[in-house]
Amino acid sequence: MINNTLPYKTKQFFFVLIKLSIVVGAFYFIYNKLTNNDNLQFSTFIDFLSKKNVFSTKNIILLLFLSIFNWFFEILKWKTLVSPIKKITFKNALEQSLGALTASLFTPNRIGEYGAKVMYYPTNFRKRVVLINLLSNLLQMTITTVLGVLGFYFLTTTYQVNLDYYKLARICIIGLMILFLVGFGIKKSKLTIKGFSLEKVKRFILEFPRRKIIFGFLFSLVRYLIFSFQFYFLLSLFDINMTYLDAMIIIASMYLLASIIPSIFIFDVVIKGSVALYLFALVEVNELTILSVITIMWLLNFVLPSVFGSFYVLNFNLPQNED
């Protein structure tokens, strides 16, 4: 192995270089997204916030409080789900969650999070860590889907949504057929995920402690309620007069539609912005207001935590193998 033939100091140098590259890459993509956004120029965004003058000290503290609690429950969820294979402290879970966020910020659909989190564990834990991270994301996606479907149902019955239901039905039928064929093909093949067959993946999830899954589900629900309320609170700061229920119908629909569109995570703000513009146009909300709210949500819940996560990336050390 080349790795074993390299001097210790050389390996340490390359290791530090990789960590620096991750942090620099994350900051570059954040900067690039803010300064080269065709939908919302950064100067326009700043001018709009200055004119609105809605961010009092009280409002800023509340928004930061909501972001902190959003990530508090994500970290608590990770600590809970990983505990059946390895007990970790809240500080460990904080380091792993924020460090993985920074490392995955510019990867497609946050796929880099899987690779980043396993690096915090010895090799004999890593396959199970991948599956636990998958389970964590599935729990969050379940909440988004269930509440999103409910929101979308009320959206179509409350507002004049221009949908071609015949075309939509055909797309759904074709989609179901594709899923059936793919599922059938996977079942017949010997497809594996990180060395696990799909049968073993299924068995791992089914045998996973039910109590941990219930807590993970509840933490996912609380997170959803926090960041959706944060979105509603920002709307109210920009003088958008909507009841919480009416706003949640659109917000839940927005998160559902945005989550099913494949995207590079750094452009997640663009995807949500495009979906939100269409949905909030139904209630005649100003485009600049919606784009500003989306950008603020992105800054508070992803950019700000990734800044703190960069500290953990730079201080990361490979773990020792355990029996």
Is pLDDT of 166 > 90? no
Which of residues 246 and 201 earns the better pLDDT score?
A: 246
Find the range with the poorest average confidence among 85-89, 127-131, 222-226, 278-282. 278-282
Give 192's strand partners.
Answer: 197
d(CA 139, CA 224): 11
Mean pLDDT to the nearest integer, 172-200: 57
CA angle 270, 276, 282 (to 5 degrees): 150
More confident residue, 223 or 17: 223
DSSP assignments along 59-93, one per residue: HHHHHHHHHHHHHHHHHHHHHHHHTTT----HHHH
CB 148 within 8 A of CB 256: yes
Residues 6+ apart with CB under 8 A from 301: 67, 70, 71, 227, 230
Asked if pLDDT for residue 23 goes beyond 90, the answer is no
Whether residue 180 is predicted with pLDDT greater than 70 in this model: the reply is no
Identify the helix (H) or strand (E) that includes residue 283.
Answer: none
The Cα 128–Cα 133 span in angstroms is: 9
DSSP H helices, the chain, are 2-5, 8-35, 42-52, 57-82, 90-104, 112-118, 126-158, 165-188, 198-207, 210-237, 244-259, 268-281, 287-298, 304-314
Residue 191 to residue 200: CA distance in whole angstroms: 11
Question: Whole-angstrom Cα distance, residue 98 to residue 23?
Answer: 12
| pLDDT the model gives residue 48 | 84
* pTM (2 d.p.): 0.84
DSSP helix/strand/coil, 192: strand
pLDDT surpasses 80 at 72: yes
Tell me which DSSP letter residue 31 carries. Answer: H
User: Quick check: 1 pLDDT over 50?
Assistant: no
Query: What's the confidence (pLDDT) of residue 5?
Result: 59
pLDDT of residue 236: 92
- Phi, psi values for residue 161, rounded to 5°: -90, 120
Torsion of the alpha carbons at 294, 295, 300 and 306, rounded to the nearest 10:
120
Average pLDDT over residues 210-238: 95
